[in-house]
A and B are shown apart, each in its own frame.
Chain A
Amino acid sequence: MRLTLNIWRQKSANEPGKMVKYDVPGVSEHMSFLEMLDVLNQRLIKQGDDPVVFEHDCREGICGCCGFMIDGVPHGPQRGTTVCQLHMRYFKDGDELYLEPFRAEAFPVVKDLLIDRSAFDRIIAAGGYVSVNTGSPQDANSLPIMKQCADMSMDAASCIGCGACVAACPNASAMLFVSAKISHLGLLPQGQPERDRRALRMLAQLQEEAFGACTNYGECEAACPKGIKLENIARMNRDYLKAALSYREEASAGGAA
């Protein structure tokens, strides 16, 4: 099949970008979307042009590197699919598509479709962890965990941090991402000691990063390639409210007084 692609081309963070039209013939329906771009890039390189820069790594939907907008939808039209796993059989001959980077103040464009998502890393560093003592592992069954909690935690943990939720949100809010991280730890016993602090710190960092606020549109949930649920945002709001009202500072430096 033959496609027409309008791709956002931007040389660097500080230069203005624009949409450029490309004619892409000879696309096989067995290609993935990224393979189709590889073919285009091969041709651009042969012509002596700059290839289209896009981020990718695993190409199997688990690392969270890939992602850009296809016709205004993060990762393209197929629900529950990262763009690396999106196959060309979902498109038809003659389609004209618009490819743009995920857009948010907090996600500056580095080049073309490549954005800087280190804001997410800083949010994780602010509280998206559990502190554990390393050493020999404890017995696997010493901490009983309800099946339902384990399942919900695993569902939240399937967030790959790609940023599609931010890209889809009309407010460029990162609440779905943060709530997934807060939920997957907060649903497990290991996540309890730092639960209050985690909600306060991750949300404070979220605000530092210039993401918008949630107005419950639900676009994030619909666009998420991993099916992260809005329910997580409600849980995050609960955690935040409880923490904001009841959190206590350490009374002393800790240890035996």
Chain B
Amino acid sequence: MSSVAVPSGFGRTAALFNSVVGKKIVMAVTGVILFGFVTVHMIGNLQIFLGPDRINAYGKFLQENVELLWPARIILLTSVALHILAAWQLTMLNNFKARPVAYVKKAALVSTYAARTMVWSGPIVGFFIVYHILHFTTMHAYPGVAPDDVYNKVIYGFQRQPAAAIFYMVANILLATHLYHGVWSLFQTLGVNHPRYTPWIKTGSKLFGFVIGMGNCSIPLAVLLKVLPRTL
């Protein structure tokens, strides 16, 4: 008999989050939700290339459906919070403590750059999310731009502050690398690994990261290159 007790009842739910695999499962599930979000968010925003009317109508649609908007926001914020909490705990309580004496020499055989930088791409993307919400959602007004004129808000936002546009692109390249490793990683964490499917999952994960990164970067880039003109 083992000396390790298996908790029962309510304790078991707590035990799930206390276990390293349970935390990874929480990260994977919240990762799926965030993954869905970034996809929809990108597709929605790309409508800016279809002209002011389309993107402004989309903005209006989101604002008008409060009964959908707030549940979605709550689910997303909870997911981000749990994702960060689990990442923070696994990194600080487990991983950074597991090898107190570093190697004099250590080779990386197969791990990708994306995988090794998850602990950096994650927090930078997190910081970006806060900045991004302050930048466009809770928004400082631009003189002469109506609050519901999403199109011109974006154009002004990036034209007035090219540094912001550049930060958007850097953060989204990091988001792309986060997804490059994260998407395949979540399948593995949830127990999906099979010689027939895993190569496809890995390819899909890279492709997904690339598409999200390029899609999101295209908007600030188009503003900087004046492909998207102001209409005011």
Contact = CB atoms under 8 A, between A and B. Distances in A.
Interface in A202-242: 203-208, 210-219, 221-223, 230-231, 233-238, 240-241
A201 B111 contact: no
Interface in B62-89: none
Contacts of A205: 2, 4
Interface stretch (B170-178, B187-195, B207-215, B216-224): B187-195
Given A106-B98, A172-B98, A100 B104 contact: yes
A22 interface: no
Given A234-B191, A247-B6, A213 B109 contact: no
A222 B110 contact: yes
Interface string A141-163: 00000000000000000000000
B20 interface: yes
A210 B103 CA distance: 18
B109 A171 contact: no
Given A69-B105, A240-B21, A244-B12, A105 B6 contact: no
Interface residues of A, number: 56
A100 B105 contact: yes
A103 B98 CA distance: 9
A86 B4 CA distance: 39
A230 to B, nearest CB: 6
B21 A203 contact: yes
Contacts of B185: 215-216
A217 B188 contact: no
A246 B98 CA distance: 30
Interface residues of B, number: 49
A213 B185 CA distance: 13
B19 A219 contact: no
Contacts of A100: 103-105
A123 to B, nearest CB: 10
A98 B25 CA distance: 38
Interface string A182-205: 000000000000000100110111
A197 B188 CA distance: 22
A98 B105 contact: yes
B124 interface: no
Interface of B: 2-4, 6, 8, 12, 15-16, 19-25, 90, 94-95, 97-111, 115-116, 118, 181, 184-185, 187-195, 198
